[in-house]
Amino acid sequence: MRKKHTSREYESELKDLKSQLATMAYDVKAMIHDSMNALQKKDIKLAEEVIERDFYINQIELEIDEFCLIILARRQPLAKDLRFITIALKMVTDLERMGDMTVSIARRVIKLQKMPPVKIPDKILLMAKSVQEMLQLAIESLLESDATKADQVLEQDDSVDELYHQNFRYLIKLMAQNENLIEPLVHLQSVAKWLERLGDHCTNLAEFVVFKVSGENVRHVSRAK
């Protein structure tokens, strides 16, 4: 009789779990894209659609959580498989929070429509582009068990942080020069902050992949050279 941890059914469950994680991540990536598209085009309807999609992301989180617990109870996995299932439980939490952050951006879009118009700083758009690239790399690193791509995510987070600080200084300067624009500029700064935090969560996902592949825990480890 074959052991449970080598059964075809078990292998299928692990593949299904990986697929579900990737699907959730792609859905979140689409929400980031659409929330920023709504910001650029001042599209309130699109912003509202992003907000509505958060319910779906929350449901996926619960379903993956339950699936992980079922696998743990039925299969009692060891070693690498156990690492994967435990990080899956953590990854869905990060992805759910990322969905929440896109909702926060979408809500800023709606609020900005009632305020004096302001130009979106290029650095915010660059941050959004980088964050989407980071999430794409994180998804690929998970699907391919590729620690090299995960490392690229960790490296790119530094540039997102730098863009955030540059944007902060730029907006503070604009506020000092245009007091009547302080409120909408504060909302743009909030968008930048959500993007910076999205980058942090992409970093978390990549660190989980490194742990899955190598067993090395790189969280809270300084990358300064």
**C-alpha 193, offset from chain centre:** 13
pLDDT of res. 219? 63
For residue 14, pLDDT over 70 is answered with: yes
Q: 34 with 103: CB under 8 angstroms?
A: no
Phi, psi values for residue 114, rounded to 5°: -95, 5
Structure tokens at 82: 């156990």
Give the largest CA-CA distance in the chain.
76
What would the pLDDT profile of 181-221 be if each residue is shown by its tens digit? 999 999 999 999 999 999 999 999 999 999 888 776 666 55
In this predicted structure, the answer to whether residue 1 has a pLDDT above a threshold of 50 is no
Average pLDDT over residues 108-130: 96
Mean pLDDT of the chain: 92
Domains of the chain, by residue range, sit at 4-214
Rounded to whole angstroms, the Cα distance separating 42 from 207 reads 35
CATH topology classification for 4-214: Methane Monooxygenase Hydroxylase; Chain G, domain 1 (1.20.58)
d(CA 206, CA 103): 23
Q: What are phi and psi of 146, to 5 degrees?
A: -110, 100
Query: Which whole number is the average pLDDT over 45-58?
Result: 97
pLDDT in tens, 57-102: 999 999 999 999 999 999 888 888 999 999 999 999 999 999 999 9
What sign for the dihedral angle of Cα 194, 44, 21, 85?
Answer: positive
